[in-house]
Amino acid sequence: MKDELAKRIVQGLKDAGINFVTYLPETRLSQIVPLIRDDPLIELVATASEQEAVTIAAGATLGGKQAAVYMENTGIYVSSYGLLTVGKQLGVPILLIVGYLGGVPDQRNSFLYATIGSRTIPVLQGLGIEHRVLEDGDKLEEKIRDAVRAANALRGPFALLFAGEFSL
């Protein structure tokens, strides 16, 4: 991903009101981590599991933060229990910033990722979590803002799946 896109993602998060991010690092969007870490307006929390990242973000949201979780799409599988229970059942908005490995628009797709990618959207649908796939920087900030608004309105998680130019 070009550095410019990473900067626009982080600025888009801030413009959308995100001020708390939990994460487990991955490859595709990793440039956003140092940018968030160096930004005094966003609290960044490293976790040991995406399941944990979801529950911490949920607690922060209930405590008044506007929270996001940054993860690889493998984390959707790992955190599906938390997404369903504290996300959907308890009804807590969380923005999911997901590196979408192995999907058709993943520019670095391979046999290592394709099975994971091919089931990501069906799993999100099974969990009842709405999503949007982003493949380029067109209206990026607006799409992030829309996703946060949707999560708040739905009282639950909303996933942005980053592929295409974001996966280069």
List of residues contacting another protein (CB under 8 A):
17, 20, 22, 43, 45-49, 51-52, 54-67, 81-82, 85-86, 89-93, 151-153, 155
- Tokens linked to 126: 């099974």
Q: 132 — phi, psi (to 5°)? A: -145, 135
Cβ 62 to another protein shortest distance, Å: 6
Element housing 46 (H / E): strand 43-46
What's the min distance (Å) between Cβ of 124 and another protein? 20
> Per the structure block, which two tokens stand in for 85?
């229970």
Beta-sheet pairing, 20-23 with 157-162: unpaired
Q: Which C-beta is closer to another protein: that of 17 or that of 165?
A: 17
| Residue placing its CB nearer to another protein in the complex, 5 or 60 | 60
Closer residue to another protein (CB): 66 or 73: 66
- Encoded tokens for 113: 């990722």
